[in-house]
Amino acid sequence: MSWAVVARKDFQDAIRSRALWGLSAIFLLLVVGIAVLYATVDAVAQEPSALGLIFFVASSIGTFVSVAAIVICYKSIAGERESGSMKILLSLPHTRRDVIVGKVVGRTGVLAVPIVVALLVGAFVGTALLGSVAPVATVLFGLVGLLFALTYASVMVGLSATTGSTTRAAALAIGFLLVFEFLWDVVVLAVVYVANGFVFPVGAADFPAWVYPISQIPPSSAFVTSLTAIIPDAPAQGGTVPAPDAFDAFFATPWIGVVALLVWTVVPVALGYLRFLNADL
């Protein structure tokens, strides 16, 4: 359980990051603001419900976790290599795998703190204003939220493990955010545009079914979609690409979001580990 020792040390270290606390404070205000907005302004939701609130908050959690994960994790491996603290860490009886696993777990724990706090506060405010609570949905929301935190921490630690330069690690992390979160809608539309013979899609019928899984590649999208799969009676969520029930294909299911999260959790960090394993420090 050597990784657990690394994870604990890493959590103690990273939880003291001022940037994390700044971000978390903003995030908490955001969640409370959203909850109040949702519950009190008619133009936002005609029939506000505790379940509706969860999905209303979900996308801001997605954005918060992706940005916070970058701030907290981009230096996790590269920074220790660059500064030389890795020399202390690896002169102790830890394998490089222990270090990677410990980092992923430790930083997930750090991300989990603001998520859980915001969730509890959001649930409290929501209950106070709406007079109703969705306990099962809230707990499931929290669990999927933690999986999502693990996914992002894993991706970012994996990227950080590929390099000994924090500048390069930062570039990789920001590049990931740009391509897979902010620009992905454009990528999907471009793919559909080409596939349709250089015609932009107008209605749901213009989207081929295989576009749906592609649209679920961004971890934030996969997170929201996972929520619709896991939380009972959840409203289907559609964005640029229609909700899955618009397609007639076995893979057009919200569970594809869970698959995407799991793939993101495993693959990048495994590749980063292989790179780290063979690196001269």
Partner 1 sequence: MTAIELERLTKQYGEITALDGVDLTVEEGEIFGFLGPNGAGKSTTIDILLDFVRPTSGTARVFDMDAQAETLSIRRRIGVLPDGFQIYERLTGRQHVQFVVESKGVDDDPMAVLDRVGIADAADRKAGGYSKGMRQRLALGMALAGDPELLILDEPSTGLDPAGAREIREIVRTESQRGTTIFFSSHVLSQVEAVCDRVGILRAGELIAVDSVEGLREAAGVETRLKITVDELDDGDADAVRALDGVSRVSVEGTRLTVAVSDGAKTAVLNALESRGVTVRDFETDESSLEELFLSYTEGSA
Give the binding site for partner 1 (CB under 8 A): 2, 5-6, 8-9, 12-13, 16-17, 83-85, 87-88, 90-95, 280-281
Least CB distance from residue 5 to partner 1, whole Å? 5
Is the CB of 94 or the CB of 168 nearer to partner 1?
94
Least CB distance from residue 108 to partner 1, whole Å? 18
Is the CB of 40 or the CB of 95 nearer to partner 1?
95
Is the CB of 93 or the CB of 131 nearer to partner 1?
93
Least CB distance from residue 82 to partner 1, whole Å? 9
SS (HEC) of the chain: CHHHHHHHHHHHHHCCCHHHHHHHHHHHHHHHHHHHHHHHCCCCCCCCCHHHHHHHHHHHHHHHHHHHHHHHHCCCCHHHHHHCHHHHHCCCCCCHHHHHHHHHHHHHHHHHHHHHHHHHHHHHHHHHHHCCCCHHHHHHHHHHHHHHHHHHHHHHHHHHCCCCCHHHHHHHHHHHHHHHHHCHHHHHHHHHHHHCCCCCCCCHHHCCCCHHHHHCCCHHHHHHHHHHHHCCCCCCCCCCCCCHHHCCCCCCCCHHHHHHHHHHHHHHHHHHHHHHHCCCC
Least CB distance from residue 273 to partner 1, whole Å? 16
Is the CB of 204 or the CB of 281 nearer to partner 1?
281
Least CB distance from residue 224 to partner 1, whole Å? 34
Is the CB of 95 or the CB of 132 nearer to partner 1?
95
